[in-house]
Amino acid sequence: MPEEMQSEISIQNVKLVIEKTVILDGISMNLEKGKIYGLIGRNGSGKTMLMKCVCGFVRPTAGEIRVQGKRIGTDVDFPENIGLIIENPGFIPYYSGWKNLKMLADINRRITREQIADAMRLTGLDPGLKRHTGKYSLGMRQRLGIAQAVMEDPDILILDEPMNGLDKDGVADMRKVFLQMKEQGKTMLIASHNADDVKFLCDHVWEMEKGRAEQLR
């Protein structure tokens, strides 16, 4: 269908059953370029697992997921050009934030040292700070996680509770960052418990419950 061909992410009748428990039950949604999509729902509703399926970390039992036209698990194992936070960001605690990001950036070798520093500054962190991440506050670790997700300038961002641990100023800062990225044509899928974040940021919202998704707007 034309709608699916234009979608950055196409999720079609995705089902996931683990040890006879239905985790995802026929999820379908199309995510277009340059829009922010929200997932809301209580813990255990399937939000994080759906994100893991989109990222290729978990293989659905049935249905298909395409990212930029490529079927996950068939055409590619993991989607290209994607930035993500799934659950709590993890970093090597005895390295600085900059060194952690540098080690991650060295995997793909797509970006320069200055681009790493720019991502840190974008999220309100000082790239010159020598403090080890093990001594970071929860909010600082979350900012570093967002910097990690955006530093390679991906087309798509998958963000699981990106405001977790941020204070009021931090939330305001990250909202500005996400809206700026939307203006740049990025596609974002955000899971959040915060209704204000969803209302402020998202063009379309799905509520998930017991593995099913209902579009609210």
pLDDT score for 74: 92
> Is the confidence at residue 167, as pLDDT, over 50?
yes
pTM attached to this predicted model: 0.90
> Is the confidence at residue 28, as pLDDT, over 50?
yes
Q: What is the pLDDT of residues 100-114, one digit of tens each?
A: 999 999 998 999 999
Q: What is the pLDDT of residues 124-151, one digit of tens each?
A: 999 999 999 999 999 999 999 999 999 9
> Is the confidence at residue 4, as pLDDT, over 50?
no
pLDDT score for 198: 85
pLDDT score for 42: 85
Band (45; pLDDT cuts 50, 70, 90): confident
User: What HEC string does the chain produce?
Assistant: CHHHHHEEEEEEEEEEEECCEEEEEEEEEEEECCCEEEEECCCCCCHHHHHHHHCCCCCCCEEEEEECCEEECCCECCCCCEEEECCCCCCCCCCEHHHHHHHHHHHHCCCCHHHHHHHHHHCCCCCCCCCEHHHCCHHHHHHHHHHHHHCCCCCEEEEECCCCCCCHHHHHHHHHHHHHHHHCCCEEEEECCCHHHHHHHCCEEEEEECCEEEECC
Give the mean pLDDT of 169-183. Answer: 93
Class of domain 1-81+155-217: alpha beta
Sequence-ordered list of residues with C-beta below 8 angstroms from that of 185, at least 6 positions apart, any chain: 33, 34, 155
Band (6; pLDDT cuts 50, 70, 90): low
Find out whether 216 and 207 touch, Cβ atoms under 8 Å: yes
Give the mean pLDDT of 19-41. Answer: 93
C-alpha 74 chain-centroid distance: 22
Percent of the chain past pLDDT 70, that is, above it, reads 97
pLDDT score for 154: 94
Domain range list for the chain: 1-81+155-217, 91-153
Band (1; pLDDT cuts 50, 70, 90): very low
Q: What is the pLDDT of residues 12-24, one digit of tens each?
A: 999 999 999 999 9
